[in-house]
């Protein structure tokens, strides 16, 4: 049993959409659109070479023209996590922070976090007040607190 090109493109569309729904990563949806264009050409009786060219060109055009808009729209719904709100906050060192020994914890907003110094050579002693600079995985990256008087001098 041989497949007609119409059947081929229908199967291709189904498989590409199945992969897209399984991953939801906006990777194969553009090629499914290209396969749809090729399917329309096959239904109209276009030659195989034209179907392949339309598939490639259609996929490329869809990818270049619509992906940036789709990515932008999907990012609008991204909500910062509670952890993101810790950046810029002050924290109290509850265990000496020493990157070389992989030790250190801080308390911020009543929660204890594993912490590392933004400066790998800098050891931060217990009870010092630091500022959260970033988050890497489940660790807070902290550094010396910037006082308003220090900022004015800089």
Q: 96 and 43 in one domain?
A: no
What domain range is 12 assigned to?
5-76
| Secondary structure of residue 6 in the 3-state scheme | helix
Q: What does pTM read for this prediction?
A: 0.49
pLDDT digits (tens, 9 = 90+) for 101-150: 889 999 998 889 999 999 888 899 999 999 999 888 889 899 987 754 44
Dihedral of alpha carbons 79, 80, 81, 82, sign: negative
pLDDT digits (tens, 9 = 90+) for 64-107: 888 777 777 766 655 555 667 788 889 999 999 999 888 999 99
Q: 12 and 52 in one domain?
A: yes
Q: 109 and 57 in one domain?
A: no
Q: 124 and 72 in one domain?
A: no
Per the structure, how many domains does the chain have?
2
Structure tokens at 57: 């060109």
Q: Which of 45, 76, 107 is the last residue of a domain?
A: 76
Q: 99 and 62 in one domain?
A: no
Q: What is the CA radius of gyration of the chain?
A: 27
Q: 88 and 66 in one domain?
A: no
Q: Which of 29, 52, 76 is the last residue of a domain?
A: 76
Instruction: Tokens 């996929």: give the residue.
Output: 59
């Amino acid at each position: 049993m041989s497949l007609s090109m119409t059947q081929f493109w229908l199967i291709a569309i189904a498989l590409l959409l199945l992969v897209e729904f399984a991953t939801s990563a906006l990777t194969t949806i553009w090629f499914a659109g290209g396969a749809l264009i090729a399917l329309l050409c096959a239904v109209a009786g276009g030659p195989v070479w034209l179907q392949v060219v339309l598939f490639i060109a259609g996929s490329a055009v869809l990818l270049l023209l619509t992906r940036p808009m789709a990515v932008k729209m999907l990012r609008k719904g991204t909500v910062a996590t509670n952890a993101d709100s810790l950046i810029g906050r002050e924290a109290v060192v509850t265990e000496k922070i020493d990157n070389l020994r992989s030790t250190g914890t801080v308390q911020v907003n009543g929660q204890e976090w594993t912490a590392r110094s933004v400066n790998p050579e800098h050891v931060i002693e217990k009870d010092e007040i630091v500022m959260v600079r970033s988050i890497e995985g489940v660790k807070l990256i902290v550094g010396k607190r910037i006082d308003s008087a220090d900022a004015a001098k800089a």
